[in-house]
Structures are given as C-alpha cells and as structure tokens.
Amino acid sequence: MNLNGKKVAVLGCGRSGVAAAHLAAVHGAAHVRVFDSNPQAVCADATVDFVGGATEKEARDFAADLVVISPGIEADKPWALAFTCAGAPIIGEMELAFRYFSGRIIAITGTNGKTTTTALIEHILLHAGRSAKACGNYGYPLSEVVLEDPQPEFAVLEVSSFQLETIQSFKPEVAVWLNFAPDHMDRYTKVNDYHEAKLRIFENMEAEQIAIIRVGEKIPDIRPRIVEFSAYEGSGLLRYEGTCIKQIDTIVADLKDTALSHAHNAENAMAAILACRAVGLKDGQIVPALADFEPPHHRCELVEEKQGVLWLNDSKSTNLHSTEAAIRSQTRPVILLIGGKDKGLDYTPLLSTMQGKVRLCIVFGQIAKQLERTFSSVYETICVETVGEAVQVAASRATVGDVVLFSPGTSSFDQYKSYAQRGDDYCQAVRKIFHI
C-alpha cells in the first residue's frame, strides 16, 4: 500500500486510532490527522495532529485520500461518510496494519471465548519458543505490533465483527470460529447482519489455509479446509470427555488440574490446540503449556470458596450465549446473578439451559424488571438494583455445595464504564462479605 504523499484521516482517538496514525506516518503519508466527533474527546498522544468535536464540514474540508476507521465507529453513518467526499476509501485499523505485517496471523472470532483463546494461543506459542503477540480486539492494536522492530513471527489476533466490517484484503493463515449467538443488536438491525460480518473472516482465505470451527456452527461453503471440535457433541477431530480432550480414543490432554477444565474453556483449549497444530507445533510442544495457563480476569474466574460455596466472576459475559455457556459448565446448584444494560436481547432461550442447574436468580440493573418477568414464572427470582445488593442476597441464600455465578449476560454500561469495573465491584463485594 503506497501512502507516499497521501492525506490520511484517522477516525477515533483511542489507542487503535493513535497507532494507525503513527503507522501511516511511518509509511510515508504526507499528512495524518486524527478526528473524533466527541467534543470532550482527548487524544492521549500530544504528538498526533488531532481534532476533537469534528464536524462533517471539517471532514469534507480535509479531503482525505484514505480514511482509517476505528472499530467502535460505524462506517456507513453520515459523519464517517463525510470524510470520503473526495473519493477516499474507508478501511479499518486492522486492515491498514495487515498490509504492513510480515509475520503469520492466527485470527480468532466468535461471540464468546475469543479473549481466552487468543491469550492461550499466545501462551502456547511463547512456551514453545516462538515470538508471538496477542493483539487486535484484545491487548495491543495490530498497528502497534506492526511498528515493533523486529515484528513478531505470529500475531494472535482477536477479531470482532466491527473490525471485520471494514476489511478488504485481510487474510489470516488460520481462522478460528468459536461460536455464534445473537449480540450487538444495538448496532445491527438483524442477527443475520451480525453473522455475515463475522463470516468475513474467511472471505479472502485460500484452500491451503485452515478454518477451525466448533461442531454445529452454521457456516456456508468456504475455501479453507475445515477442522472441527466440540465439548458438547460426539463428533469433531477433538472432543471433550470427562476431563480429557480426546482424538478418537486417544487422550490428547487431561485438563483436570488446569484452569481450563470447565467445558466452555475446554472448547477454547481444543481450538487453541488445533490452531497451534495448524502452524506446525507438535502436541508435545502444546500440551505442557496448558498446565500453567490462567484465563484472563472476569471469565468464570474463582473469587473465593467460603463455607462450602464457590463464588465465580464471569463479568465478561455480555451476551446471552456467554451466560448460557457458563451455566452449562457448572456441576453444582447455581445461584445466578444476571443483569445490566438493556441491549434489546430476548432472554427466554436461557430458560431451558437453566433447567436442572439454576435454583435461584438474582437480577439487577437496567434490565432487571424484564429479566424478572422472563424468569419468575419458572425460577425463584429476586430483583435488586445493584451488584452489591445482589451479592448480599446471594450470601444470605447460599448453602453448602452452591456456586454463586455472576454472569450478567449483557453489557455493563448502565452502571459501569466497563465489564472489568463491574467484575472488580463484584469481587470487592464478595470479599467484603467475608471480611477479606
């Protein structure tokens, strides 16, 4: 991609936007300017030419040759389109970075499990002595990785539907499709639009490349070779039985004493094993790395085990499918703490998953009343306002052998800045109960 002498407009002043601006400048762009429509936006890098509260007129006046858009900004809205008045194409930060990356890319998408799988693949590669960096929607923007000297051999790239909307030539060597469930209905008008955006991960791949896909996913005909796995179905190259990942009747890995033994994390482990095999690693290099891997925080992590009750923090659960997976993986009676922002999702499908697992629901946040109406006819449901109140009620009702599962099933933005802040609040509330 020849940027020599070009004017580049970067939309969004977050970390990925700043990284894209630096990357464009390094590769010869004559003028790079970062724009944000928010008048309160502040660019953390004072060396970047930045305009906050940018108007459509300022967009047109800049007359960009190329527009690089951050994932959180919708490319088909009037403000973004105003930057294309001189005929400039719009690409995403990931697409820009891909064109300058000389290494190998393993890309991971799915509604849930992306971050854990991304971190695990990076962990395995590093354990095997390969240079790798987890990036994309997790960790570093790909543009920052491309600016490293030397670049790592592998970019292990968590890829969201938002990033895939604006690809043109992006083509991973290995693509992992973990799962799909309705999400982001505040961005997409139809579930199919969300599905189609995610499917773009396979769009430019060739027959010699590999797609690693969970059994039962609705995937159309694609060019790369498909390898399947599943913890819940009896088919696929890898399957989960007891605590063991098996290939036919051969044990590949026993997850009993690892942090990956829950079924949803076993699926992440199977996907990671297959991805690392696909880039040339042997099981003898892969399996030992599973033993000391710790999943990222807020993903079914153990907070405390007190008085015979297990307290789990799954604040990263921001959609129905993630909560479904967390419930399904439990083997003890569940007190479910669920709630948060109203994203327009229907929680009725969760009722069948809860059967035989959940004995009490505690609902909170903006969506609490809707959840109470959905669950109360089948399960005892208690409605509260805050996470702290939910923890107090759970503590008063939990008995020996229970698991208190904090799996909100929607985003945190009704009461918190992020799922991480929400998870931290939950952990603090639990520890306060036990004076820890």
Q: Is the dihedral of CA 101, 105, 109, 115 positive or negative?
A: negative
CATH of domain 7-92: 3.40.50.720
What is the model's pLDDT at position 341?
94
pLDDT of residue 319: 86
* pLDDT exceeds cutoff 90 at 345: no
At 262 the pLDDT is 76
Could you give the percent of the chain with pLDDT greater than 90?
A: 76
Whether the Cβ atoms of residue 130 and residue 154 lie closer than 8 Å to each other: yes
Whole-number pLDDT of residue 112: 75
Instruction: Inform me whether the pLDDT recorded for 257 exceeds 80.
Output: yes
d(CA 336, CA 359): 8
Residue, of 267 and 151, whose pLDDT is higher:
151
pLDDT per position as a tens digit, 10-62: 999 999 999 999 999 999 999 999 999 999 999 989 999 999 999 999 999 99
- What pLDDT was estimated at residue 234? 74
Burial class (CB in 10 A: 0-12, 13-18, 19+), 41: middle
Q: What CATH architecture is 101-290?
A: 3-Layer(aba) Sandwich (3.40)
Residues of the chain with CATH 3.40.50.720: 7-92
CA proximity to 222, closest of 251, 244, 247, 202: 202
344 pLDDT band (50/70/90 cuts)? confident
Instruction: Evaluate if residue 102 carries a pLDDT over 60.
Output: yes
Residues 6+ apart with CB under 8 A from 404: 309, 310, 311, 312, 334, 335, 337, 391, 394, 395, 398, 430
Q: What pLDDT does residue 182 have?
A: 58
DSSP code per residue over 105-149: EEEEE-SSSHHHHHHHHHHHHHHTT--EEEEESSSB-HHHHHTSS
Percent of the chain exceeding pLDDT 70 equals 98
Q: Cα 157–178–315 angle (5° rounding)?
A: 80
Confidence band, pLDDT 50/70/90 cuts, at residue 284: very high
Q: Which CATH class is domain 301-433?
A: alpha beta
Give the confidence band of 72 by pLDDT, cuts at 50, 70, 90.
confident
Q: For 181-233, what is each residue's pLDDT tens digit?
A: 655 555 666 878 888 989 999 999 999 999 999 998 999 999 999 999 988 77
Enumerate the CATH 3.40.1190.10 domain ranges in the chain, comma separated. Answer: 101-290
> pLDDT tens for residues 291-318?
999 888 888 888 888 898 989 999 999 9
CATH 3.90.190.20 range(s) for the chain read: 301-433
The pLDDT, as a whole number, for residue 194 is: 85
CB 428 within 8 A of CB 390: no
Q: What is the mean pLDDT of residues 261-283?
A: 92
pTM above 0.85, yes or no: no
Segment 111-121 mean pLDDT: 89
Task: Give the pLDDT band (50/70/90) at residue 290.
Answer: very high
- What is the rounded average pLDDT for all residues in the chain? 93
Residues known to be catalytic: 114, 137, 184
Rounded distance between C-alpha atoms, residue 374 and residue 369, angstroms: 9
